[in-house]
Amino acid sequence: MMKNKSIYDGWIDEMASFQLPRWNELSSVPLYMDQLLALVKDYLKSFRLQDTSNMEITPAMVNNYVKLGLMPKPEKKRYYRRHIAYLIIITLFKQAISIQEIRKVLVYLAASHGNEQAYNLFCTYLETSVRKECHYYQTGEFTYENGQAYKDPDHFDHYIIWNACSLITHLIFSRRLIECLSPEDLVLDEQKISS
């Protein structure tokens, strides 16, 4: 059995009720860079690992994201809702896909749905995915092909392997979908992205 399983169990309990703020719940007050970083880090604190570099966000990173066209430029050094939303999505996406892939996804989502709807959709899907995984872990309802539930302490290793394989599968499928985006899919509708 995993020595620190109780730590993982506690984190799972916390993640089961994880929720990102929706577009209308994001700050409507203009923020300076340090306020933006503190706010986004707070929203994403549940995703931080002990090695906090996985969720590191620095002013240089934000400036780079703007230069690369991943997020809009600040207005007079101030950041608004759309900046917060973009930074949340970028920070989470960069755990799994490259900056170039993130750019394609963001452009596609903004072109397809506009910023507000795309961000809210992202929040809903992320929360659903997290809760589903938490539910499977907490209830042991999910069983592997051999019929063994990972809740059984003797088969916790199956859960670890399953999660690693799921990650690989989801990454590969996501990357393939992103590769399939055509230039026509990435044409921005200025009206949708200005919201």
Arithmetic mean of pLDDT, 12-36: 94
pLDDT computed for residue 60 by the predictor = 96
Q: What is the mean pLDDT of the chain?
A: 80
Name the phi and psi angles at 90, rounded to 5: -60, -45
Q: Which amino acid is at 127?
A: E
pLDDT computed for residue 130 by the predictor = 81
Q: Which amino acid is at 119?
A: Y
Q: Classify the phi-psi angles of 76: left when phi > 0, otherwise alpha if psi is within -120 to 50, otherwise beta.
A: left
pLDDT computed for residue 192 by the predictor = 58
pTM for this predicted structure: 0.79
CA distance 91 to 56: 8
- pLDDT tier, 67 (very low <50, low <70, confident <90, very high otherwise): very high
Say how many domains are in the chain.
1
pLDDT computed for residue 138 by the predictor = 81
Name the phi and psi angles at 143, rounded to 5: -125, 155
pLDDT computed for residue 183 by the predictor = 77
pLDDT computed for residue 84 by the predictor = 97
- pLDDT tier, 35 (very low <50, low <70, confident <90, very high otherwise): very high
pLDDT of 172 strictly over 70: no
The answer to whether 23 and 116 are in contact (CB under 8 A) is yes
Residue 106's closest CA among 90, 125, 91?
90
Q: Which amino acid is at 44?
A: L
**Residue span of the structural domain in which 128 resides:** 5-193
The answer to whether 26 and 84 are in contact (CB under 8 A) is yes
Question: 41 or 185: which carries more pLDDT confidence?
Answer: 41
